[in-house]
Chain A
Amino acid sequence: MDNIIQVGMAELKIATAPNKLLTAGLGSCIGICVCSPAHQFGALAHIMLPSSTQSKKAHNKAKFADTAVDLIMEEMIKNGVNVSKLYAKIAGGAQMFKFVGESSIMNIGQRNALAVEEHLKRIGIKIAARDTGGNFGRTIVFDPKTGDLKIRTIGHGERTI
């Protein structure tokens, strides 16, 4: 029986096939999914913010794009995965509210997406597919067996990338 492992906001979890990883209700947050098809092993981080360096409280590494990708890499190495074969799929980074005045809430999704791309590149993980931006929420299920990332939305369809 396949188990679905729930990943909450600002969390990182790992799974070995046939288990899958799920994170619900991604808005401006981004789900970073990394897997090694040869090992049927994957990680999913639900990040909230682009950078830990601007934060006064950065001990939760899964909360920030920069530290989360490092944490993913650590997990891969710890679990004996050949890191040269890794690839990533990312989803989220939406802008949920149309107008919020001067608030920084405006472009947080876009800043998250840029930061995730930048830091995955920094540690040498290729992005195989992405579904970012827009103004709608996403619930994602990542299958480390196939590397498929299934995306559900409300009113914006379903797709697998």
Chain B
Amino acid sequence: MKDFTELSCMQLDALREIGNIGAGNAATALAQLVQAKIDMSVPEVSILPFDDVAKLVGGADVPVCGLYFAVSGSITGSILFMLPIERANLLVDMVLGRNAGETAAGISGELEASVIMEVGNIISATYLNALSYFTKLRLLTSVPALATDMAGAILNGVLAQVGGVVDDVLVLKTMFTREDRDIVGHFFMMPDSESLSTILQALGVNC
């Protein structure tokens, strides 16, 4: 399989299910870290033209805090965790036990940046561990790369890596929320198109 648009309904369902397993474990890890109830949205699986990916977080010029991880091992791909800036600040407050609103200066400080990167590390590692356990594939993540800027700008370089091969990306998206209301962040898993048949085979839906 070379093209995401050739995926059948059953295959999309199987991919949604791995998103579900990964995100469920990541939500639990996040909840333990911040000592609060963390919910997750039903994972969405979409095949999107490049330009539409930024719309999932509100538009190309929306300011966000973005964490990027390269996925390697049996498959290759990208993980992006994007949080609205004020949410990133709140997350830092929660992890450091500060009062809400204390990290108002943004995550420009070294401590704040490492807190956010550590949260990203835990979420992406938990997500991939669950995936790895379920699919028996070997999955590794890189160290996190952090940028705080426009959502589109952050996506550019990540999408450019696959841009030579495809015009669309497969996005597994989950939204984490705290106590049903506050959005914590958007989690994207984007497997490269070459890795798709490996994943489908591991799930037993390669046809």
List residues of A whose CB falls within 8 A of some B CB.
8-11, 24-29, 48-49, 54-57, 60, 63, 94-101, 103-105, 108-109, 135-139, 152, 154
Contacts and interface: CB of A to CB of B under 8 A. Distances in A.
B147 interface: yes
Nearest to A135: B147
Contacts of B158: 105
Among B59, B66, B143, B152, chain A packs the most CB atoms within 10 A around the CB of B152
A48 B159 contact: yes
Contacts of B159: 9, 48
Interface of B: 49-51, 54, 59-61, 63, 66, 68, 70, 142-143, 145-161, 163-167
Given A25-B61, A29-B156, A55 B164 contact: yes
A8 B51 contact: yes
6 contacts: A25-B150, A25-B151, A25-B154, A48-B163, A100-B145, A136-B153
A109 B165 contact: no
B17 to A, nearest CB: 29
A105 B157 contact: yes
Contact of A100 (B50, B51, B63, B142): B142
B51 A10 contact: yes
Contacts of A56: 164-165
A48 B51 CA distance: 11
Given A29-B156, A97-B146, A101-B142, 10 more contacts: A9-B60, A9-B156, A27-B152, A56-B165, A94-B153, A96-B154, A99-B143, A100-B70, A136-B149, A152-B61
Contacts of A27: 149-150, 152-157
Contacts of B167: 10, 57, 60, 63
Among A48, A56, A96, A136, chain B packs the most CB atoms within 10 A around the CB of A96
A25 B156 contact: yes
B139 to A, nearest CB: 16
Contacts of B165: 55-57
A26 B146 CA distance: 17
B54 A63 contact: no
Contacts of A109: 157
Contacts of B145: 97-100, 105
Nearest to B59: A24
A135 B154 CA distance: 10
A140 to B, nearest CB: 10
A154 B50 contact: no
Contacts of A100: 68, 70, 142, 145
Contacts of A154: 63, 148-150
Contact of A101 (B54, B70, B147, B163): B70
B23 to A, nearest CB: 23
Given A55-B165, A139-B61, A28 B160 contact: yes
Given A8-B51, A9-B51, A48-B163, A103 B154 contact: no
Nearest to B67: A97
Among A11, A28, A152, chain B packs the most CB atoms within 10 A around the CB of A28
B58 to A, nearest CB: 11
Given A8-B51, A10-B51, A57-B165, A48 B160 contact: yes
A16 to B, nearest CB: 23
Q: In the A-B complex, list the 3 residue pairs whose CB atoms are closest, starting with the nearest.
A: A25-B152, A137-B153, A27-B153
Contacts of B146: 97-98
